[in-house]
Amino acid sequence: LEEQIRRSDRLKTIGQIAAGTAHEIRNPLTAIKGFMQLLNKSLADRSMEKEQEFVGIVLSELERVNDLVSEFLLLSKPKEIRLVSMRVGLVLQEILPMIRNEALLHNVTVLYYPKPELAPILADKEQLKQVFLNLGKNAIEAMDGGGTLIIRDYHDPYETDKIAVEISDTGSGIDAEALEKVFDPFFTTKPQGTGLGLSVCQRIVHDLGGSIEVSSDEGGTRFIVKLPCASGTDD
């Protein structure tokens, strides 16, 4: 047991150092990105296309490092959450333009039929947006040759104090072995993946008192997020 405590202390310390380091990486990254954009512009002014191409690669790799650092920070040092009563449909409406845009690029059809009569939930809007964006992005990335992304929200028939949001796709699916690991930090099957998206989703949903489940077969994958309703009769 002593050994276990020592190990968990050590892991905690490593986590803190890593979070601090990630934070420190951010500032120089922002500066590098800014100057690269300036460089890109002056290369464009001089029609230096080859060099512009190189700078473009640097910028897109920077974007990857930036994503990794942001997701890592979200995971290791959760922000204060501000719980506000809101309609989940409104949150979905706000991210839909981004999802549709991404879907268009990948030949994916997005179906969402808003349900205005649903009870409000208690959540942090920015964090919840992050959850649905991550799930939507994963779904689209799983549909290489196009497909359909369906978003549904409804009162959970089993847990009536919960609202469920379902995000399902007609993509590649997840095999049984991978299904066990999808929420693990750094688990990814994508060459450019961070493997942090679903860990972040799970962390946020749990912090909100909800749950997140996944099921998958050859026909595609379905994530179900359940969130507690704002009862209005609390205390």
The per-residue DSSP string of 142-177 comes to: T-TT-EEEEEEEEE-SSSTTEEEEEEEE-S----HH
Q: Taking the complex as a whole, how short is the minimal distance between the CB of residue 181 and ligand ADP, in angstroms?
A: 8
Q: What would the two tokens of residue 48 be? A: 């230096």
CA 28 – CA 159 distance, rounded (Å): 47
Q: Which residue has the tokens 């493997």?
A: 195
For residues 173 to 202, the per-residue mask of contacts with ligand ADP, x marking binding by CB under 6 A and - elsewhere, is -x---x---x----xxxx--xxxxxxx---
The string over 61-79, giving b where at least 16 C-beta atoms fall within 10 Å of a residue's C-beta and e elsewhere, is ebeeebebbbbbbbbbeee
Q: Which does 70 bind (CB under 5 to 8 A by kind): Mg ion, ligand ADP, none?
A: none
State yes or no: residue 171 binds Mg ion (CB under 5 A). Answer: no
Q: Taking the complex as a whole, how short is the minimal distance between the CB of residue 33 and Mg ion, in angstroms?
A: 22
State yes or no: residue 89 binds Mg ion (CB under 5 A). Answer: no
Q: Taking the complex as a whole, how short is the minimal distance between the CB of residue 45 and ligand ADP, in angstroms?
A: 36
With CB under 6 A as the rule, give the number of residues binding ligand ADP: 22
Residue 91 vs residues 22, 73, 158, 203: alpha-carbon distances, Å:
29, 23, 23, 18
With CB under 5 A as the rule, give the number of residues binding Mg ion: 2
State yes or no: residue 197 binds Mg ion (CB under 5 A). Answer: yes
The string over 141-180, giving b where at least 16 C-beta atoms fall within 10 Å of a residue's C-beta and e elsewhere, is bbbeeebbbbbbbebeeeeeebbbbbbbbbbbbbeeeeee
Nearest residue to ligand ADP by CB is 197
Amino acid occupying residue 112: Y
Q: Taking the complex as a whole, how short is the minimal distance between the CB of residue 183 and Mg ion, in angstroms?
A: 11
Asked whether 224 and 164 are in contact (CB, 8 A), the reply is yes
Q: Taking the complex as a whole, how short is the minimal distance between the CB of residue 9 and ligand ADP, in angstroms?
A: 27
Which residue, among 94, 143, 138, has the nearest Cα to 114 in the 3D structure?
94
Q: Which does 121 bind (CB under 5 to 8 A by kind): ligand ADP, Mg ion, none?
A: none
Q: Which does 189 bind (CB under 5 to 8 A by kind): Mg ion, ligand ADP, none?
A: ligand ADP
For residues 134 to 173, the per-residue mask of contacts with ligand ADP, x marking binding by CB under 6 A and - elsewhere, is x---xx--x--------------------------x-xx-
CA 94 – CA 92 distance, rounded (Å): 5
Footprint on this chain of Mg ion (rule: CB under 5 A): 138, 197
Footprint on this chain of ligand ADP (rule: CB under 6 A): 134, 138-139, 142, 169, 171-172, 174, 178, 182, 187-190, 193-199, 221
